[in-house]
């Protein structure tokens, strides 16, 4: 009996671990007039991990303005987003805490179909308890794309666009390396 409980507990823990460690696959583009938004948000300064990001649509008005993004570790992405004005409204972590983000942070507009890199940020907490969103220079756009490609089927429109963007970023980095530096 005790052995069965241990086996069942082990299987349950494996299921929980696997379900937390994987994000849903990136789907095929559903409409040629949509965008793919991606970025990174590090919550290690809050001693926790990112579980979800909620985006709020302001324009055009809609009955369901809140859209949950997909997350994997600190990478988040939302696919097939239609033209309009949006803002990141809140993020959730493994401790079931909700962190509301100031309305001046995280606003973006989609005017045409494209990939849109939101940026890489981290939330830090000061001893006073105040939280602040700051740039995360340790995570590059290429890192974020590589994290998304793991969940992207080859041959899909978004996979092709992400690969093109990654190649462009590599080209930019190789050109930077060839620039003579003043000493």
Helical segments of 23-130, H only: none
pTM of the model: 0.75
Distance of CA 42 to the CA centre of its chain: 10
Give the pLDDT score at 23: 54
**What secondary structure letter does DSSP report for 126?**
-
Show me where the domains of the chain are located. Answer: 33-139
Helical (H) or strand (E) element with 138: none
- CATH 2.60.40.10 is held by the domain 33-139: yes
Distance of CA 55 to the CA centre of its chain: 11
Give the pLDDT score at 141: 94
Asked if 76 and 40 count as a contact pair (C-beta separation under 8 A), the reply is: yes
The beta-strand segments (E) located in the chain are 34-42, 50-59, 66-68, 70-72, 75-82, 84-93, 98-100, 107-110, 115-125, 131-135
Task: Count each helix (H run) and each strand (E run) in the chain, helices first.
Answer: 3, 10
Task: Per residue of the chain (183 residues), give pLDDT as tens.
Answer: 555 443 444 443 333 333 344 456 777 777 888 899 999 988 887 777 787 788 888 888 888 888 888 888 888 898 888 899 988 887 877 766 666 665 556 788 888 888 989 889 888 878 887 778 888 888 999 999 999 998 888 888 989 999 999 999 988 877 766 677 676
Nearest to 89 by CA among 75, 72, 76, 102: 102
Query: What is the rounded distance in angstroms from the CA atom of residue 53 to the CA atom of residue 103?
Result: 14
């Amino acid at each position: 009996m005790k052995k069965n409980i241990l086996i069942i507990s082990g299987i349950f823990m494996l299921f929980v671990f696997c379900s937390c460690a994987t994000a849903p696959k990136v789907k095929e583009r559903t409409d040629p007039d949509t965008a793919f938004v991606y970025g990174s948000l590090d919550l290690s300064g809050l001693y926790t991990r990112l579980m979800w990001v909620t985006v709020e649509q302001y324009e055009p008005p809609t009955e369901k303005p809140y859209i949950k993004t997909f997350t994997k570790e600190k990478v988040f992405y939302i696919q097939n987003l239609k033209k309009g004005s949006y803002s990141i409204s809140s993020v959730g972590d493994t401790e079931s805490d909700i962190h509301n983000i100031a309305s001046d942070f995280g606003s973006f507009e989609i005017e045409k179909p494209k990939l849109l890199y939101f940026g890489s940020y981290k939330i830090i907490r000061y001893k006073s308890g105040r939280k602040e969103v700051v740039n995360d220079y340790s995570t590059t756009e290429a890192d974020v794309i590589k994290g998304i490609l793991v969940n992207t089927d080859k041959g899909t429109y978004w996979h092709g666009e992400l690969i093109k963007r990654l190649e462009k970023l590599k080209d930019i980095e190789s050109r930077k390396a060839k620039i003579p530096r003043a000493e």
